[in-house]
Amino acid sequence: MKGKVDRLMAEMTLAEKIGQLNLLPAGEGLVTGAAQATTLAQRLAAGQVGAVFGTKSLASARAMQERAIAGSRLGIPLFFAEDVIHGHRTIFPLPVALACSWDVGLIEKTAAFAAAEASAEGQHVVFSPMIDIARDPRWGRVAESPGEDPLLASRIAVAMTRGLQGPDMLAPGRVAACLKHFVAYGATQSGRDYDNASLAWEDLLGIYLPPFAAGCEAGAACVMASFNAVNKVPMHAHAPLIEGWLRGRNGFDGLVVSDYTGVKELTAHRLGPAPVAVVRALFAGIDMDMVGEDYLRELPTLAEAGIDAPEAGLALSSAAIRDLTDRACRRVLTLKERLGLLDDPFRGLGATGAAPKRQAGRKLARRAAAQSVVLLKNNAVLPLSSKARVALVGPFARDRRNMLGTWSVSGNADDVVSLDEAVAALTGKAPRTAWGVNIVEEPWLEQRLNVHGVTVEHDARSEAELIEEALAVARQADVIVVTVGEAKEHAGESSSCLSPDLPAPHHRLIAALKQTGKPVVVVVFAGRPLALGGAAEVADALLYAWHGGVAGPEGVADILFGAATPSGRLCVTLPAHPGEVPLSYAEEPTGRPYRGHFQKFLTGWLDLPDTARRYPFGFGLGYSEVRYGTPSLSVTVAAADDRVVLTVRVQNAGPREATETVQLYASDPVARITRPARFLIDFQQVTLAAGECREVSFQIDADQFRYPIAPSLEAAEWVRDPGLVQLHVGPNSRDTQSLDLTWLA
């Protein structure tokens, strides 16, 4: 018996099929009657919309659904989507911050909570998780990313997909996930947003594609294409990667949506005018056209006349274009069927959508914020005594707006408890606060940051006056907590910056405070990894707090005063100098290996003496000393199908409970091509009471040592060589103990 999708496909006209490929923003919603009817209202009435994103309420979604069904001869409903990047109404820490928790269980919980809030407002799909590997902090979207490592990012992709979709996407409180942005958006040239990526196929297969493979494996229902080109082919026209790798090699059977006007932008990529762009995108496997309406405008003619554009190297018959239109429409309808909308067009739009308890969300957000904070330095200053007289200084001391971070579209800054209030609530003593310095010096930059709504407050006094005010407060205190970093829209989309480092005035403020002779605790609020420069030396304690979401300041206060112990570990490398980006811990060896400091005729920079100021991937401190015993292997020579066990004892020498992320890296001393000097192959988190000792074991098999050799994408093969490999276990990517293991052929 034919299914619903087959029956609809058999009955639909070409125009109705094309209408399903149109993905529109809710924008101002439905404005009709006395006011000029909105385009959206007209499109709905004409059955020319497949889905809408950005509705702001259940009522507006329901009204649009009614219009869509009335406008569709066969009563085909919309699906609704929203950008829920790190929470919906309850905003969790930025994804790059959450990734520093290395706690995939926590990440899954935050995704599940976000799904419950979004689905309660009629969302069926969320444009999340963003799983672009990011190794260039100039690129603002590192803020939304899971960091620099493919294994950690892959585990996060799975956790987010499971959290959003659950075991059954149809269950109440669940939504469809949309993996984005496919692919290598983070490898953009010079860190410039929307620019192109040229990279070895081996890097694409070994670094940027694994999180998408993992997300698909976890059952993600959708994928969104990225704006960039990969190796000269814009992703919205990249048939080898979308239809070839994603669907063909990787078996993805869901829906692929364009990014915002991504189809239209193929013309700007100079692939040809709109008809060419449309056919290239449809052929590549882009099923829905977000915002640009090029499918809607061009397909009726193309499906009748075909295309013959020799200047674009493109010729396709009308029949072939009709087949591609059918293919895309079938995928849209199949998603709607999977979402239960063909059985119940108002599924998820009823008033029954009980939103989860906000208090529970806030508690989870506070826990997530504390776990996302990374303690980089502590000269026995932290945790602070609740009796200490604290001076809280700097532009984030009383801030709410910036704490939500970028892509917090449905959050409300008024829900944020600022750091001064959080400290007062926790300790019973209100800290004395002072502005100290502005977030940015340049008024033109301030205006640009405010383009997404006011996030940057400015104190009009001179820097000297601001610093003097801060010093006056600091002199009355036992300890100074100085807050520095970036505004929320300093990082995010269309927020690439030339120099990812702390602004000079922030350095001057820290130095001035240090002159008081009081302990100085530096807390960095940022959306990207910053080169901290001399601030790291001057600080007596240093916390990287990111933009921690609605409970970000409370999470920081919990860490400052020991209500929570720091367990965050960097998911990115903090550069020693902004000029050394892009970078990661997994750099390839060269013929003249870099030794971490400049040496003539070796890899390195003349003007960078050393990387002492670099904080490595996986690094983070706690409030206890955690000691590692000598690791051991179950065998040192293994057959290819053996399972080898690496064991290491980890002891919490106290004085407090500690959560340790034991990290296992590997190296391949001899391979057929250059490979990363070391790469993460596993990690485990253990929580140890003071004095507790635990054996941590890792199961290792030969497959973890496979690597791609790819003269082309199509000719790629994953190989594994027999012989010696090295294993490195420890608290981060730098401070490890090594073991040799030999794999037999």
Q: Which amino acid is at 259?
A: D
Residue 206's closest CA among 181, 232, 183?
183
Tell me the helices (H) and strands (E) count for the chain, helix number first: 21, 29
Say if CB 570 and CB 620 are below 8 A apart.
yes
Full DSSP string of 679-725? EEEEEEEEEE-TT-EEEEEEEEEGGGG-EEE-SSSTT-EEE---EEE
**Which position among 79, 102, 113, 127 is part of the footprint of ligand GLC (CB under 6 A)?**
127
Spatial distance between the Cα atoms of 646 and 380, rounded to a whole number of angstroms: 34
Q: Indicate the residue among 222 and 375 with the shorter CB distance to ligand GLC.
A: 222
**Which position among 45, 170, 260, 642 is part of the footprint of ligand GLC (CB under 6 A)?**
260
**Is residue 108 involved in binding ligand GLC (CB under 6 A)?**
no
Angle, alpha carbons 677-678-684 (nearest 5°): 170
Spatial distance between the Cα atoms of 730 and 274, rounded to a whole number of angstroms: 54
Q: Which residues lie closer than 8 Å to 654 by C-beta, 6 or more apart? A: 624, 625, 690, 691
Annotate each residue in 702-741 with x if it binds ligand GLC (CB under 6 A) or - if it does not, as one string. ----------------------------------------
Classify strands 707-709 and 717-719 as parallel, antiparallel or unpaired: antiparallel
Say if CB 555 and CB 373 are below 8 A apart.
yes
Would you call 721 a catalytic residue per the annotation? no
Min separation Cβ 128 and ligand GLC, Å: 8
Q: Indicate the residue among 235 and 524 with the shorter CB distance to ligand GLC.
A: 235
Residue 134's closest CA among 99, 159, 162, 106?
99
626: helix, coil or strand?
strand
Min separation Cβ 177 and ligand GLC, Å: 12
Q: Indicate the residue among 185 and 525 with the shorter CB distance to ligand GLC.
A: 185
Min separation Cβ 141 and ligand GLC, Å: 8
In angstroms, what CA-CA distances link 610 with 76, 535, 576?
Answer: 62, 16, 8
Assigned token pair, 485: 């970093």
Say if CB 226 and CB 182 are below 8 A apart.
yes
Q: Which residues of 505-542 are buried (b: 16+ CB within 10 A; e: fewer)?
A: bbbebbebbbeeebbbbbbbbbbbbbbbbebbebbbbb
Q: Indicate the residue among 260 and 346 with the shorter CB distance to ligand GLC.
A: 260
**Which position among 136, 259, 399, 554 is part of the footprint of ligand GLC (CB under 6 A)?**
259
Spatial distance between the Cα atoms of 109 and 90, rounded to a whole number of angstroms: 13
Min separation Cβ 486 and ligand GLC, Å: 20
Min separation Cβ 257 and ligand GLC, Å: 9
| Residues 603-662 interacting with ligand GLC (rule: CB under 6 A) | none
Min separation Cβ 260 and ligand GLC, Å: 4
Q: Indicate the residue among 97 and 560 with the shorter CB distance to ligand GLC.
A: 97
**Is residue 83 involved in binding ligand GLC (CB under 6 A)?**
yes
Q: Indicate the residue among 227 and 396 with the shorter CB distance to ligand GLC.
A: 227
Q: Indicate the residue among 277 and 538 with the shorter CB distance to ligand GLC.
A: 277
Q: Indicate the residue among 52 and 416 with the shorter CB distance to ligand GLC.
A: 52
Min separation Cβ 209 and ligand GLC, Å: 18
**Is residue 180 involved in binding ligand GLC (CB under 6 A)?**
yes
| Residues 489-548 interacting with ligand GLC (rule: CB under 6 A) | 493
Q: Indicate the residue among 131 and 727 with the shorter CB distance to ligand GLC.
A: 131
Say if CB 411 and CB 402 are below 8 A apart.
no
Say if CB 173 and CB 231 are below 8 A apart.
no
Residue 526's closest CA among 443, 419, 406?
406
Annotate each residue in 450-489 with x if it binds ligand GLC (CB under 6 A) or - if it does not, as one string. ----------------------------------------
Q: Residue 513 gets which letter from DSSP?
A: H
Ramachandran angles phi, psi of 563, nearest 5°: -70, -20
Alpha helices of 85-179 — where are they, by DSSP H?
95-99, 104-119, 150-165
Residue 397's closest CA among 522, 502, 563, 542?
522
Min separation Cβ 176 and ligand GLC, Å: 14
Say if CB 623 and CB 377 are below 8 A apart.
no
Catalytic residue among 259, 501, 558, 682: 259
Min separation Cβ 140 and ligand GLC, Å: 11
Residues that bind ligand GLC (CB under 6 A): 83, 127, 180, 259-260, 493
Residues annotated as catalytic (active site), given as ranges? 259
